[in-house]
């Protein structure tokens, strides 16, 4: 038997894969063994040297736990709303039957109707005010006027002329409570069941006041759904003939009601500015807040208005949208939300508009009921108080807006109208007015010669006013 080379005795025979020791010293085996020993010696040498900086050289040795990450899916393309295909067919007919059906089925509406039947509107409004006042009392908040004065002083803002009427520049007419919708946030409590509307005599007196008051640059028509009220076109046309800007506060769906087929065209021909409610760009949220079928009709109405030039640069026809929150929270930042609306409405529906305004929900009427039944009224009042914004005070609508209800009574704002807090002759600064009507303690359009009679009058305030100074306000 051949002797085994001493230098290879440490090499396992299993590695050399030999069957007979006589082959251990063959040239081929010697070469293989030399390479193996050289390799082992190199590894040992490298291990003894300092390691290079390899920040990602840390793979876990438990390779049974290793998993491949699934490839990221590419972002889905912006979906085209499938409803556009048969939208015109779907929005045929009136929304009113669906609204009335919803009112009959909805528990909140049924409770409100029963309370109204038992207590009457005046007592119901008084009870609502007491609930807000009780919430503010529990929060330790003083009355609105004292609260605002103290906060302005804290911010080194002058309180001179605070909450006193200035020159009237906007005449806002609530020409009726009739509406084809019944939104759960509505501070006017409009619905198809409300039949109150301004008559021609009252409308003519409003135009007469407008003509005598050149400082008024805007006639603001609201409701209800103002387009569905009998004097809408008379007022809109008369306001334009006097050279004033006319605003139509539109719920959009009214433009598609039977008999209103040419209303959008009327608005465009008279260059009437449209301010339209659209609380979201999704069907789910809009229908939740405003009723079944509202979203489809709102989108179709916007498409019709766009086709007439509204929202299109260079046409001079303006349409602004209004967002208000679904629940007891403040709206998002206005400019960021405006951009979001622009992108969503254009990419999905091809809709354009001019501006977007965010407003805070006022804790009155239906929205107050909504909060109270959910035990959220005090929390919401706390939100409004904690988010007082002193920058909203100079722009409050009560400074330069005169609000008129369908009967001709005058108010500092539309919210005061709903709370039946009118303008009293007692609050006028050293100015005698011969009040012609004895039915109400408040003034009407027949009691004043022109809007200058109201200059300097003390603004009527109450506990709902915190809604106009929270966040970006509600004016």
pLDDT, greater one: 326 or 175 = 175
- Report the percentage of the chain scoring pLDDT > 70: 81
CB–CB of 29/16 below 8 Å?
yes
Contact 299, 87 (CB under 8 A): yes
What pLDDT does residue 64 have? 57
The tens digit of pLDDT for each residue in 161-184 reads 999 999 999 999 999 999 999 988
* pLDDT tens-digit readout, 47-88: 444 445 555 546 676 755 666 556 566 665 544 556 777 898
pLDDT given for residue 290 in this prediction: 87
Tell me the per-residue pLDDT of 103-126, one tens digit each, with 9 for 90 and over. 898 888 888 888 878 878 788 888
Q: Give mean pLDDT, residues 17-45.
A: 51
pLDDT above 50: residue 16 = no
User: What is the reported pLDDT for 3?
Assistant: 44
The pLDDT confidence band at residue 292, using thresholds 50, 70 and 90, is confident
| Cα–Cα distance, 127 to 299 (Å, whole number) | 38
Contact predicate 120/329, CB 8 Å: no
Stronger pLDDT, 46 or 228, i.e. the higher one: 228
Task: Give the E-state strand segments of 344-400 in sequence order.
Answer: 356-358
Among 110-124, 352-366, 425-439, 446-460, the range scoring the smallest mean pLDDT is: 425-439
Give residue 186's pLDDT: 87
Contact at 8 Å (CB) between 321 and 216? no
For the chain, the average pLDDT equals: 85
> For the chain, what percent of residues have pLDDT higher than 90?
61
Residue 422: closest CA among 430, 408, 433: 408
Question: Which residue(s) pair with 401 in the sheet?
Answer: 170
The answer to whether residue 235 scores a pLDDT higher than 80 is: yes
For residues 311 and 350, give the distance between their C-alpha atoms in angstroms, rounded to a whole number: 12
Q: Does the CA dihedral 79-84-90-95 come out positive or negative?
A: positive
83 or 422, greater pLDDT: 422
- Higher-pLDDT residue of 422 and 36 is 422
SS3 label, residue 250? strand
């Amino acid at each position: 038997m051949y002797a085994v080379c001493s230098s290879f005795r440490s090499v396992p025979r299993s590695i050399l894969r030999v069957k007979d020791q006589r082959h251990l010293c063959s040239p081929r085996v010697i070469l293989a063994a030399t390479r193996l020993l050289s390799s082992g010696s190199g590894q040992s040498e490298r291990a003894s040297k300092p390691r290079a900086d390899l920040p990602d050289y840390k793979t876990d040795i438990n390779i049974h736990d290793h998993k491949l990450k699934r490839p990221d899916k590419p972002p889905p393309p912006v979906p085209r709303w499938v409803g556009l295909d048969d939208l015109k067919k779907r929005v045929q007919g009136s929304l009113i039957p669906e609204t009335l059906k919803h009112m009959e089925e909805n528990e909140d509406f049924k409770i409100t109707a029963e309370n109204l039947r038992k207590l009457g509107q005046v007592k119901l409004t008084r009870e609502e005010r007491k609930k807000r006042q009780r919430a503010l009392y529990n929060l330790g908040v003083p009355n609105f006027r004292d609260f605002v004065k103290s906060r302005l002083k804290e911010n080194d803002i002058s309180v001179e002329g605070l909450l006193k009427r200035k020159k009237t520049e906007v005449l806002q007419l609530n020409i009726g409570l009739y509406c084809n919708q019944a939104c759960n946030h509505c501070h006017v409590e409009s619905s198809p069941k409300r039949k109150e509307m301004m008559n021609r005599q009252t409308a003519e007196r409003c135009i007469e006041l407008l003509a005598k008051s050149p400082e008024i640059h805007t006639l603001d028509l609201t409701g209800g759904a103002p387009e569905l009220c009998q004097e809408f076109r008379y007022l809109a046309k008369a306001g334009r003939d006097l050279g004033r800007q006319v605003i139509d506060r539109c719920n959009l769906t009214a433009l598609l009601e039977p008999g209103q087929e040419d209303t959008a065209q009327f608005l465009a021909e008279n260059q009437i500015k449209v301010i339209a409610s659209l609380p979201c760009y999704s069907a789910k949220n809009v229908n939740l807040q405003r009723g079944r079928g509202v979203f489809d009709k709102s989108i179709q109405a916007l498409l019709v208005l766009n086709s007439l030039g509204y929202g299109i640069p260079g046409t001079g026809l303006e349409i602004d949208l209004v967002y208000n929150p679904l629940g007891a929270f403040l709206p998002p930042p206005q400019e960021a939300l405006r951009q979001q609306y622009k992108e969503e409405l254009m990419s999905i529906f091809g809709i354009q508009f001019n501006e977007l305004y965010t407003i805070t929900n006022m804790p009155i009427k239906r929205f107050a009921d909504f909060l109270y039944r959910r035990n959220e009224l005090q929390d919401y009042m706390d939100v409004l108080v904690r988010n007082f914004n002193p920058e909203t005070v100079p722009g409050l609508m009560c400074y330069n807006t005169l609000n008129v209800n369908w009967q001709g009574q005058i108010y500092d704002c539309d919210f005061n109208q709903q709370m039946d807090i009118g303008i009293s002759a007692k609050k006028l600064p050293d100015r005698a007015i011969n009040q012609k009507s004895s039915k109400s303690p408040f003034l009407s359009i027949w009691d004043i010669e022109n809007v200058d009679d109201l200059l300097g009058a003390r603004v009527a305030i109450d506990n709902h006013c915190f809604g106009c100074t929270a966040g970006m306000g509600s004016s």
